[in-house]
Amino acid sequence: MKDGPTIDGKETRRKERMRFVSADQVAQLAGVSRSAVSRTFTPGASVAPATRERVQKAAEELGYHVNDLARGVLANQSRLVGIVATRPEIGFRAHLAAALAKALIKRGSIPILINTGQTEDELLAAQKMLIGHRAEATIILSGSPPASFVDIAHRNGQPLVVIGRTEPDADHVSAGNAEASRNAAMAFFDKGCRRLAVAASHSATSSIAEREHAFLAAAEEFGASVSVGRGMDSDYDSGIDAARQLFSRAERPDAVYCANDLIAFGLMDHVRKTLGLRIPQDVAVIGFDDVPEAAWLSYRLTTFRQDPVVMAQRAVELVERRLASPELPPAYERVIPELIFRDSFTP
């Protein structure tokens, strides 16, 4: 019986398969020095046109690419930017993370998504990942990641941008939650709705809490009665839970403002499929985010649109501003959402 391959043997073959084209190989094929190759791919470096042409031709023939990771280590500038989020696959957060990755790549940065997880072990692993990769900046999405991530960024001198939350000594990008929520209450009231409700969640991230509080304050100011239903999180199932609470009461609401679109989807399905009520004839619904599903024929949700591309670009601009001028005071960018009218509510 032959002995099987050893672990060391497997590792050797793996490294052989992953052998990247080196600058030395390019230099040999081009007939130039190794330093000439380095200068060719260093912006602003002096190199003769004929030499540059030979090096670029050899590099293209061999499939050579500059080792940006090694170059960043030598320059103490990794070009990595950490995008930190809890459950980044959910709702608007997924579209914002995608827009951030695209904007960072366009800038020449390398986005690294840190999914914080929800257990202590997952949080610890994510924290080690963030600091271990020496990211040149950190962007934190929403209020879910714990304050320890903010503390780590500050202690290591990283530029920090937070989106949808408030942190001292950080640059901020936020939606106009208060303005939008007040406009929602006003739109319902102008339509003649007087039994208003808000569907939110016990997760109480800063954005969700701000939307709920602003809507309640505006509804009470207008003299409308208002009730609150909350699920455990800011997702579809929480929308169902909020609907059960709101519509089990003797006086059912005739209009509901949902703290995000996922909550709105759950609430709408429960209202129509379980209770047999009509939207908007029996109850009007307004959401927040305008994720793509809001335009689906099953929902046709009237909602406030957060533009993930605009918010991502503002965040990247703040990273660049902080890297260029670390001493500047914190900046606050506010993106006011637009109310997109569809079938669930019309003015």
Q: Does 125 lie in the same domain as 233? A: no
Q: Does 167 lie in the same domain as 110? A: yes
Cα–Cα nearest to 100, from 307, 321, 313: 313
Domain boundary among 35, 66, 97: 66
Give the helix/strand (H/E) hosting 213: helix 206-222
13 found inside a domain: no
- Summarize pLDDT for 263-294 with one digit per residue, the tens: 999 999 999 999 999 999 999 999 999 999 99
Q: Does 258 lie in the same domain as 224? A: yes
9 found inside a domain: no
Q: Does 330 lie in the same domain as 269? A: no
Highest mean predicted confidence (pLDDT) among 27-31, 168-172, 281-285: 281-285
CA 103 to centroid of chain Cα atoms: 12
Of 150-164, 246-260, 271-285, which gets the smallest average pLDDT?
150-164
Q: Indicate the number of domains in the chain.
A: 3
Q: Does 190 lie in the same domain as 292? A: yes
Give me the amino acid identity at 346.
T
Residue-averaged pLDDT of the chain = 86
221 found inside a domain: yes
- Summarize pLDDT for 205-228 with one digit per residue, the tens: 888 999 999 999 999 999 998 999
Q: Does 278 lie in the same domain as 233? A: yes
Residue that is written with structure tokens 């060719």 in the block: 40
Q: Does 314 lie in the same domain as 168? A: yes
Q: What is the pLDDT of residue 45?
A: 80
pTM: 0.78
* C-alpha to C-alpha distance for 147 and 116, rounded to whole angstroms: 12
Q: Does 203 lie in the same domain as 162? A: no
Q: Which residue has the higher pLDDT, 248 or 147?
A: 248
- Summarize pLDDT for 315-328 with one digit per residue, the tens: 999 999 998 998 89
Q: What is the pLDDT of residue 273?
A: 96
Helix/strand number for the chain, H first, E second: 13, 12
**Average of per-residue pLDDT across 226-232:** 94
253 found inside a domain: yes
Q: Does 215 lie in the same domain as 166? A: no
**Average of per-residue pLDDT across 135-162:** 76
| pLDDT surpassing 50 at residue 99 | yes
Give me the amino acid identity at 16.
E
Domain limits at 119? 78-175+309-336
Q: Does 127 lie in the same domain as 96? A: yes
CATH code at position 300: 3.40.50.2300
Highest mean predicted confidence (pLDDT) among 15-19, 44-48, 155-159, 256-260: 256-260
Q: Does 122 lie in the same domain as 105? A: yes
7 found inside a domain: no
Count how many Cα atoms sit within 13 Å of the Cα of residue 297 in the half-sphere of its side chain.
0
Q: Does 295 lie in the same domain as 189? A: yes
Residue that is written with structure tokens 């993930």 in the block: 308
Terminus-to-terminus CA distance in the chain, angstroms? 81
Q: Which residue has the higher pLDDT, 291 or 140?
A: 291
73 found inside a domain: no
89 found inside a domain: yes
* C-alpha to C-alpha distance for 95 and 259, rounded to whole angstroms: 17
SS3 (DSSP) at 52: helix
Domain boundary among 7, 40, 66: 66
In the chain, pLDDT over 70 holds for what percent of residues?
85
| pLDDT surpassing 70 at residue 11 | no
DSSP state of 270: I
299 found inside a domain: yes
- Contacting residues for 109 by C-beta, under 8 A, at least 6 apart: 79, 80, 81, 136, 316
